[in-house]
Amino acid sequence: MLLIHCPYCDETLPESEFAYAGEAHINRPADPSALSDEEWRDYLFIRTNARGPHYERWRHIHGCGRFFNAVRDTVSDRFLMTYEAGEARPDLTVKEAAE
Amino acid sequence: MSRYRIPGMGRVDPAATVSFTFDGRTYQGLRGDTVASALLANGVHLMGRSFKYHRPRGVVTAGSEEPNALIGTSRGKGRFEPNTRATVQELRAGLTTESQNKWPRLSFDIGAVNDRAYMLFSAGFYYKTFMWPRSFWDKVYEPFIRAAAGLGKSPTEVDPDSYAHRNLHTDVLVVGGGPAGISAALTAAKSGARVVLVDENPEMGGSLLSDPSVRIDGRGSWAWLAEQLSQLRAVGVRLMTRTTAIGYYHQNFVGLVERVTDHLDQPPHGAPRERMWHVRAEQVVLAQGALEKPLVFDGNDRPGVMLAGAAQTYLNRYGVKVGDNAAVVTSHDSAYYAAFDLVDAGARVAAIADTRDSVRPDLLDAARKRGIQVLTGHTATATEGRLRVKSVRVNPVRNGQVGAGRKIACDVLLISGGWTPSLHLFSHTKGSLTWDADSRTFLPNHKTEACQIAGAGRGLWGYGPVLEDGVKAGMAAAQALGRSAEGSDARVEGDRPGTGSSQKELPTDRSPGKAKAFVDYQNDVTAKDIRLAVREGMRSIEHVKRYTTNGMATDQGKMSNINGLMIAADALGKEPPQVGLTTFRPPYTPTSFGAFAGYHKGATFEITRKTPIDPWAEARGAVFEPVSLWRRAWYFPQAGEDMHAAVARECRMTRASVGMFDASTLGKIEVAGPDAVEFMNRMYTNPWTKLAPGRCRYGLLLGEDGFIRDDGVIGRMSQDLFHVTTTTGGAARVMNMMEDYLQTEWPDLDVWLTSTTEQWATVALNGPNARKVLEKLVEGQDLSDEAFPHMSVAECTVAGLPARLFRISFTGELGFEVNVPARHGLQLWKAIHDAGQQYDICPYGTETMHVLRAEKGYIIVGQDTDGTVTPQDAGLDWAIGKAKKDFVGKRSLSRPDIVAPNRKQLVGLLTEDGTKLEEGAQIVLDPNQSLPMTMAGHVTSSYDSVALGRPIAMAVVTGGHGMMGKTVHIPMPNGTIRATVTSTNFYDPTGERLKA
Amino acid sequence: MTHFSAMSLLRNALTGHKNWREQWPDSQPKAEYDVVIVGAGGHGLGAAYYLAKEHGITNVAVIDKGWLGGGNTGRNTTIIRSNYLYDESARLYDHALDLWENLSQELNYNVMYSKRGVMMLAHNVHDVQSFQRHVHSNRLNGVDNRWLTKEEAKAFCPPLNISPDARYPVMGAALQMRAGTARHDAVAWGYARAAAARGVDIIQNCPVIAIRRGPDGSVQGVDTAKGFIKAKKVAVSAAGNTSVVMDSAGVRMPLESFPLQALVSEPVKPIFPCVVMSNTVHAYISQSDKGELVIGSGTDQYTSYSQRGGLPLIEHTVAAICEVFPIFNRMRMLRKWGGIVDVTPDRSAILGKTPVEGLYVNCGWGTGGFKATPGAAHTLAWTVAKDEPHPINAPFTLERFTTGRLIDEAAAAAVAH
Amino acid sequence: MTTQRHEFDPTPFLVEELPWAPRFSLRVRPEHRAALAGALSLELPSKVGQRSTAAGTEVLCLGPDEWTILAQDADALTTASSAAYAQIPHSLVEISDREITLRISGAQALTALTTGCPRDVEAMPVGTGARTLFDTATIVLWRDDRQSFRIDVWRSFLPHVHAILDQVLVELKSGL
């Protein structure tokens, strides 16, 4: 069971309070009708499935109810960071340099 | 006093005798004994039979790693469990035990003929044979192989015991209550940290319990231990004995299983048998010690052959002498101490055969003083004795040459192949191991979790270094928590330091191919098997393990992994780390299913949601069906009615007069805010802008893939407020989906969602007399068709209760749904029921609801649609706001295969001969084709319709919307049924009754 | 290759088993192959075997980052069945079942295919409708599957609790008699031995770094830890690692990899005669020929390559097993393990050609990969050899995610009321 | 040495179902929190988990834009809400009947909660609250004192929570 930091509650809490919600930073196109079938497929189905740092969404469903973003290493399952929904995709190299 | 019990020794209570039975015979042991120690005290070594060859086996260890002494244990009806380790099971009054895998009896087992055919049953033999003749596999070979499977017998009765769960958060969790763990726990606790110390044994102390002669800080080790434990208690350390750390999961989450009652004569009422602890620790200290390895040589498995450390434990901890005349074969110093303790306790040790050429002089001196002959540079090449070892054959080895053997008589043979750190939990974390070339053991290397490893688990030996290491680990844990910790020194006298060498199978002067030199005792894997596997191309240790089953027994390789690896590495001509180590898997020791399930058993296996009206239905004799987490009234049978009759009556009475239905399980969501209408427009296919407050509309929700996800009636309560209903099973999903879009795609919208599913109890009232019943109860709303037409919603008072009243219908009849605050739900139900008496009001269940809606062609999402159905397929084009630029799923509706002709479309079916179709039956266009047939669809719903006087069905059929009036065929096992494709709107197609 | 038989076993027993030869050589890569298959699991080794046997293409390498059979082939719960709903799936899995029937004889390696019967329990009205739909569809597809009353289900599997008071009472079951289990390791080893005997190179411990494409976009070979290997055709059959490998060829896949857990109990004498699956309580169980109860759990909610998995999921699975089979409450879990399953949006596999010339893929099996092994391997070999879809694997294209022609078995079983 | 002794505890903890009380879910954007608090005459804590009490009305912040209100005067609250809505868009939804509240108190109240709550209840400060889990049911947990808690449970989940607490009570009474 993972331990997840909710950026809204500012608490680190057990996974059972949270629901995984898939890859992050896949924004719904503003005008889907303008998309080709291939572009729409990419939005619907194509996923990074990264081996290593993975940008993903979680919802603190049995807590504050907020969706938020996280970077998790899918090899170790360790969270590198979590951040609020709507924030830009963080640049991990900058973060590493800061540490 | 039993023959082999030594008065004055051990930690058992000589005054407390406990009786138990083994294979029907009664024995006496002492309070504090395990079954194994008590049997040994009675001179019983033969405790089991091995898996494949049914060889007689005795106890090898004194702990949870025992591979041989597995027994069935019982405390009466429903309380039998197989494969219990006799070395772990504590004696309790009335305990009955039995040996396993033998017939007719343990001392004479027919299955032992397998042992004669030893050469045939080589590793992987079954992959090479049993293939011809082909038909023999199913009928002869496989049943035979299967019949031989297993060790103990499965329980056959329902377990009456309860099991518990507990969450525990702590700063430091120390696993292992030996000297390293105790000093780590005390050091960390003194820094102010919250500390939990767990040990799988009935008491803390670990190896100290087997080494009373060592002196620490000027006291005997047992006195020192008692003092340490009282200090631990004083500083608030939670001490948990009989508690096994079974698995080490992500981010210092450790599962513990506490055995609460298995050792008690009379468990108190209500006490759980076992308790699973979910521990989350900031820091974990692993102080699990080391496991002694057997030596691998021909005959190393006879009853009476046991690990030297185990003999030492039986002697010092239980006061049991494992034999009168011992011999020792070792490659490690530790076995000397066991021999010394035995001699000091009055036993004879005939000889110590040491595989090493030189041995520490002080050990040789101490042996000589005790009259023990030490044979350095020796190997063991055979043993004798059928049900108990009688002798061991040892030979000198000079320059790799095995010299002439000689027989040493003994009634017990102590062996030690050295020690390997117990790193199972560390392995669970995917921490890496490093091969220590000097000690020829794997040691912990890179850590992936916030943990410390202390003591013998890091390859340290002797109490001085181990205690010091425990203190260090405790300090490191405290410092990692940001606390300052002070170290302390322990002064150890009479320490028992040791080193050893690690062996593959011992050299022999006989044909190695014929030797029965066991590596995995329980699974009967020999050194020869491992070499055969390598010869056959199994180069990875994973392949060797799987091909031979080495390490797959119930000890999970604790006894066999390293020895197996040494032999495989030798056969491959590689160093062990190049061959690799198999991964240790949780749980550390076998763990009962009940402990995992905890409270989730019987009535609390899973939540059962019930509506406020459920008690009425239950009292009324309703039959219930589970629908997602809810239980719903299925139908209300009256005396003498079966389901068919009850449903027919409910349908008839509702259409004829009025019926009432508990619709409280429908999901309800309050969508509120200035942008509520915009949000609804984006989520649902339908247009909402022009829906006036006080009106409602059927809403259709798609996934982004264009397939139907959910539906429900949605009322606009005011300009900025929608009362959304969802399907019963879809409530949570829809709410989550809406929140997802709102929070992450459209955070600019001023809308808020609140689940009100359980705020409201909902009663649906349907039938031509529905208004007449309701009118008597409603205040504040004119119910006439003019004032309150179909698809209206209003807030008013019903039966004196504040209500949201909908005029909607899922039956095709004049219909209303009354929502009142849930605590009044039952009151409302009763009020309507009373008011309806003059109209013979009929409570109906979900089955009647299904029939009535099917007569109207209303779909059930999940029954008539299945996650591959679009609105067009379901004939719901009308629900799509054509003018809307976008809504969830819209784009997918123009994908090539979604607009392609001949998709499966929802239609009605009427059978020509009036038989009722089976739901799920497949439809074909050409009934005369051969298998496999081309199927054109299937029946989604099928009912006997009272209103129509014939069965009706709904189905999805390829191109169905263009097939009205055409005939399709439904091939059933006993003949093909013809049916005509129709509209799904079977009943009152113009909807006159709705408008009544 | 030594022929395996009772006679050869006896002969070798008399000589102390000293004369057995290696079942497959540990090959080093050659500079070039006609076909390189990435992933030495049952699917990859099987494809190599059928390429050699049925298409005469023997200059084939199967390369794996670890040991052959060390991925999902060696980590699954060994269930084999073909009672799938959709024609496409039923054809594929039934083709596999036909091959399973004679696989031991074909490979001269006993894969211990046990026709124990797979029984799927219905616990509510929706289950009944769904399983009846399966039974009817299977019948018309020529796939064996029949409906049992709860009493018949109990007779077939005596440990089953059919009490009406259960939280999820059993309302009936669908039974496929031809279905069952097989020894998972033996499948990989049997294919490896048979493929190697026909000249296929099996190269272990050789991670693929990238798939190399030429200026025209077509496949040229693979860069590996042991250097570049030239090949005009590359088939990727790497289970949970497929995304990463395909990405190196510039093909992004509709895949997500999840940890899947399974467990076994301590071994006991025969008590459980078949395979039972319950989708509603999320449990499936059989008894191995060693006597262990083999129990499948679910996937954790998050994508992961860690192969660890959490404790709560296992607790739920075990509770579900004890709910359906209460006599097992005092049995003990011996070990649990994790695998990585790759899951597509419609939970059906992707099998065949890709947009890249010379690149083929076999992935997305979710939890269904083991049972498909011979069928997937057999049809993939055809596709690789002829560079065209096999009639059976033709529907399992990547294109379906663009056009919307999904094969959604899971959605077909979706629950909602 | 093995022990065969255990202490019987007749009253490890007490579970009481509290009477119905008006309860609301309030939602407003964080930037409008202060203004709405003024308009509703409430103190709306800004940090998740914090509580306020004024004039008998209790407020618990459950999320960055979500509060549960146990209103002393429900009519006054809804009237004030309606009046403020045009200026300060927000949502106030009555949920008095959605949840039922249990009080769990006594020497082993904390222990009882640790049977079902995965988060560290012990570390939760007195006077705070949070939405969390008990077993598989979502609850709102209020810590009123060291050994006194309230949990709000959705109506249909209550029997399950109750049934587990009943088992825990028997278990704790056994002293083991």
Do the Cβ atoms of C345 and A42 come within 8 Å?
no
Give tens-digit pLDDT for C239-251. Answer: 989 999 999 999 9
pLDDT band at B653 (very low <50, low <70, confident <90, very high): very high
pLDDT band at C412 (very low <50, low <70, confident <90, very high): low
Contact B864, B954 (CB under 8 A): yes
**What is d(CA B883, CA B885) in angstroms, rounded to the nearest whole number?**
6
Q: Give the pLDDT score at B131.
A: 87
Q: Name subunits touching C (3+ CB pairs < 8 A).
A: A, B
Do the Cβ atoms of C17 and B605 come within 8 Å?
no
CATH of the domain at D116: 3.30.1360.120
- Range C404-409 average pLDDT: 87
Whether D1 maps to a domain, the answer reads: no
Q: Give the pLDDT score at C279.
A: 87
**In angstroms, what separates the C-alpha of A90 from chain B's closest C-alpha?**
17
D133 touching chain A per CB within 8 A: yes
pLDDT band at D3 (very low <50, low <70, confident <90, very high): low
CA closest to B256 among chain C residues: C311
- Ramachandran assignment for B274, one of left (phi > 0), alpha (psi -120 to 50 degrees), beta (any other): beta
Following DSSP, what letter does each residue of A68-80 receive, concatenated? Answer: EEEEEETTT--EE
Neighbours of B191 (CB within 10 A): 21
CA closest to C342 among chain A residues: A49
Give tens-digit pLDDT for B443-489. Answer: 999 999 999 999 999 999 999 999 999 999 999 999 999 999 999 99
> Which amino acid, one-letter code, is at B332?
H
D29 touching chain A per CB within 8 A: no
- Range B610-617 average pLDDT: 98
**In angstroms, what separates the C-alpha of D53 from chain B's closest C-alpha?**
23
C209 touching chain B per CB within 8 A: no
Same domain, D108 and D53: no
**What is d(CA C86, CA B956) in angstroms, rounded to the nearest whole number?**
14
Using DSSP, state whether B343 is helix, strand or coil. Answer: helix
Residue C403 phi/psi, 5° resolution? -85, -25
Residue C51: closest CA among C184, C235, C189, C245: C235
Following DSSP, what letter does each residue of C268-292 receive, concatenated? Answer: BSS---SEEEETTTTEEEEE-TTSP
Number of domains comprising chain D: 2
Same domain, D56 and D106: no
Instruction: List the single residue in A22, A49, A56 with the smallest CB-CB distance to C255.
Output: A49
Following DSSP, what letter does each residue of A1-16 receive, concatenated? Answer: --EEEETTTTEEEEGG
Q: Give the pLDDT score at B119.
A: 83
Structural domains in chain B plus CATH codes: 1-158 (3.10.20.440), 163-290+421-493 (3.50.50.60), 294-417 (3.50.50.60), 511-585 (1.10.10.1100), 646-852 (3.30.1360.120), 900-995 (2.40.30.110)
A2 touching chain B per CB within 8 A: yes
Could you write out the three-class secondary structure of B747-772? CCCCCEEEECCCCEEEEEEECCCHHH
Give tens-digit pLDDT for B106-152. Answer: 999 988 888 888 888 888 888 998 888 888 888 888 888 888 888 99
With contacts defined as CB-CB under 8 Å, which chain B residues touch D136?
Answer: 606-607
Instruction: Give the B-side interface with A, CB within 8 Å.
Output: 249-253, 278, 280, 430, 448, 704-705, 736, 739-741, 743-745, 747, 885-886, 890-892, 894-896
> Which amino acid, one-letter code, is at B579?
V
Neighbours of B515 (CB within 10 A): 21
**What is d(CA B795, CA B804) in angstroms, rounded to the nearest whole number?**
5
Q: Residue D59 corresponds to which tokens in the numbers above?
A: 């407020």
Same domain, D117 and D153: yes
- Range B535-545 average pLDDT: 94
- Range B515-530 average pLDDT: 96
Do the Cβ atoms of C290 and B126 come within 8 Å?
no
> Which amino acid, one-letter code, is at D12?
P
With contacts defined as CB-CB under 8 Å, which chain A residues touch C402?
Answer: 37-38, 41
Q: For the packed helices B527-535 and B541-548, what is the interaxial angle rounded to 10 degrees?
A: 120
pLDDT over 60 (residue C416): no
Same domain, D110 and D160: yes
**Interfacial C residues in 319-348 facing B (CB < 8 Å):** 319-323, 326-337, 345
Same domain, D84 and D104: no
**In angstroms, what separates the C-alpha of D95 from chain B's closest C-alpha?**
6
With contacts defined as CB-CB under 8 Å, which chain B residues touch A59?
Answer: 736, 739-740
Could you write out the three-class secondary structure of C368-407? CHHHHHHHHHHHHHHHHHHCCCCCCCCCCCCCHHHHCCCC
Do the Cβ atoms of B271 and D171 come within 8 Å?
yes
Instruction: Tell me how many residue pairs between chain A and chain B have CB atoms under 8 A apart.
Output: 59
CA angle B65, B68, B70 (to 5 degrees): 90
CA B805, chain centre distance (Å): 47
| A45 contact partners, CB below 8 Å, separation of at least 6 | C254, C345, C401
pLDDT over 90 (residue C167): no
D94, D124, D145 - which closes a domain: D94
**In angstroms, what separates the C-alpha of A76 from chain D's closest C-alpha?**
22
Do the Cβ atoms of C20 and B532 come within 8 Å?
yes
**In angstroms, what separates the C-alpha of B554 from chain A's closest C-alpha?**
26
Q: Give the pLDDT score at D1.
A: 45
Range scoring the smallest mean pLDDT among B222-231, B373-382, B435-444, C391-400: B435-444
Contact B737, B828 (CB under 8 A): no
Helix (H) or strand (E) holding C34: strand C32-38
Give tens-digit pLDDT for B541-574. Answer: 999 999 999 999 999 999 999 999 999 999 999 9
CA C314, chain centre distance (Å): 21
**Interfacial C residues in 175-194 facing B (CB < 8 Å):** 183, 185-186, 189-190
**In angstroms, what separates the C-alpha of C129 from chain B's closest C-alpha?**
6
pLDDT band at B226 (very low <50, low <70, confident <90, very high): very high
Give tens-digit pLDDT for C205-260. Answer: 999 999 999 999 999 999 999 999 999 999 999 998 999 999 999 999 999 999 99
Q: Give the pLDDT score at D5.
A: 67
Q: Which domain holds residue D130?
A: 14-18+98-174
Give tens-digit pLDDT for B183-221. Answer: 999 999 999 999 999 999 999 999 999 999 999 999 999
Whether D4 maps to a domain, the answer reads: no
CATH of the domain at D32: 3.30.70.1520
Q: Give the pLDDT score at B171.
A: 98
D94, D129, D150 - which closes a domain: D94
Instruction: List the single residue in C253, C306, C311 with the smallest CB-CB distance to A1.
Output: C311
Same domain, D170 and D130: yes
**What is d(CA C244, CA A49) in angstroms, rounded to the nearest whole number?**
8
Structural domains in chain A plus CATH codes: 3-27+37-98 (3.30.2270.10)
pLDDT over 90 (residue C2): no
Q: Which residue has the tokens 């494809």?
A: C47
Instruction: List the single residue in A14, A33, A37 with the smallest CB-CB distance to B280.
Output: A14
Neighbours of B21 (CB within 10 A): 14
Give tens-digit pLDDT for C18-39. Answer: 889 999 999 999 999 999 999 9
Whether D5 maps to a domain, the answer reads: no
CA A25, chain centre distance (Å): 7
CA angle A89, B753, B862 (to 5 degrees): 95
**What is d(CA D26, CA D156) in angstroms, rounded to the nearest whole number?**
22
Percent share of chain B, pLDDT over 90: 93
Percent share of chain A, pLDDT over 90: 90
pLDDT over 70 (residue D130): yes
> Which amino acid, one-letter code, is at B861?
V
**What is d(CA C350, CA C88) in angstroms, rounded to the nearest whole number?**
12
CA closest to A10 among chain D residues: D48
Do the Cβ atoms of B739 and A3 come within 8 Å?
no
Give tens-digit pLDDT for C47-89. Answer: 999 999 999 999 999 999 999 999 999 999 999 999 999 999 9
Q: Residue C69 corresponds to which tokens in the numbers above?
A: 């059979």
Contact B214, B464 (CB under 8 A): no
**In angstroms, what separates the C-alpha of B58 from chain D's closest C-alpha?**
25
**What is d(CA C349, CA C363) in angstroms, rounded to the nearest whole number?**
6
Contact C330, B80 (CB under 8 A): yes
Q: Give the pLDDT score at A96.
A: 59
Same domain, D142 and D166: yes
- Range A18-45 average pLDDT: 97
A19 touching chain B per CB within 8 A: yes
Q: Please give the span between the terminal C-alpha atoms of chain D, in angstroms, as a whole number.
A: 17
**What is d(CA B66, CA B58) in angstroms, rounded to the nearest whole number?**
10
> Which amino acid, one-letter code, is at C271?
I
Q: Name subunits touching B (3+ CB pairs < 8 A).
A: A, C, D
> Measured over all CA atoms, what is the biggest interatomic distance in chain C, rounded to whole angstroms?
68
Do the Cβ atoms of D155 and B670 come within 8 Å?
no
Q: Residue C258 corresponds to which tokens in the numbers above?
A: 């999840």
pLDDT over 60 (residue A97): no
With contacts defined as CB-CB under 8 Å, which chain A residues touch C255?
Answer: 47, 49
Contact B917, B977 (CB under 8 A): yes
Same domain, D77 and D131: no
Do the Cβ atoms of C345 and A41 come within 8 Å?
no
Helices (H) and strands (E) in chain C, counts: 12, 18
A53 touching chain D per CB within 8 A: no
Whether D2 maps to a domain, the answer reads: no
Give tens-digit pLDDT for C258-274. Answer: 999 999 999 999 999 99
The verdict on whether omega for the bond into residue B932 sits within 30 degrees of 0, i.e. cis, is yes
Q: Name subunits touching A (3+ CB pairs < 8 A).
A: B, C, D
Test the A interface: residue of C402, C403, C407 with most A CBs within 10 Å: C402
Size of chain D, expressed as the number of residues it contains: 176
> Which amino acid, one-letter code, is at B36?
A
The verdict on whether omega for the bond into residue B155 sits within 30 degrees of 0, i.e. cis, is no
pLDDT over 80 (residue C414): no
**In angstroms, what separates the C-alpha of C141 from chain A's closest C-alpha?**
30
With contacts defined as CB-CB under 8 Å, which chain D residues touch A8?
Answer: 48, 63-64
Same domain, D88 and D116: no
Do the Cβ atoms of B536 and C23 come within 8 Å?
yes
**Interfacial D residues in 147-176 facing A (CB < 8 Å):** none
Whether D31 maps to a domain, the answer reads: yes
Considering Cα of B911, then B915, then B919, then B922, what sign does the dihedral take? negative
pLDDT band at B514 (very low <50, low <70, confident <90, very high): confident
CA angle B936, B939, B945 (to 5 degrees): 145
- Range C154-177 average pLDDT: 95
Contact C317, C348 (CB under 8 A): no
Instruction: List the single residue in B249, B744, B894 with the smallest CB-CB distance to A85.
Output: B744
Instruction: List the single residue in A1, A59, A67 with the smallest CB-CB distance to B250.
Output: A1
Do the Cβ atoms of B868 and C186 come within 8 Å?
no
| B101 contact partners, CB below 8 Å, separation of at least 6 | B48, B49, B50, B51, B54, B109, B111, B150, B151, B152
Q: Give the pLDDT score at C413.
A: 57
Q: Give the pLDDT score at C15.
A: 85
pLDDT over 90 (residue C280): no
With contacts defined as CB-CB under 8 Å, which chain C residues touch A56?
Answer: 302-303
Following DSSP, what letter does each residue of chain D receive, concatenated? Answer: ---------S-S-EEEEPPP--EEEEE--GGGHHHHHHHHT----SSTT-EEEETTEEEEEEETTEEEEE-S-HHHHHHHHHHHHTTS--EEEE-TTTEEEEEEESTTHHHHHHTT--S-STTSPTT-EEEEEETTEEEEEEEEETTEEEEEEEGGGHHHHHHHHHHHHHHHHTT-
D34, D66, D94 - which closes a domain: D94
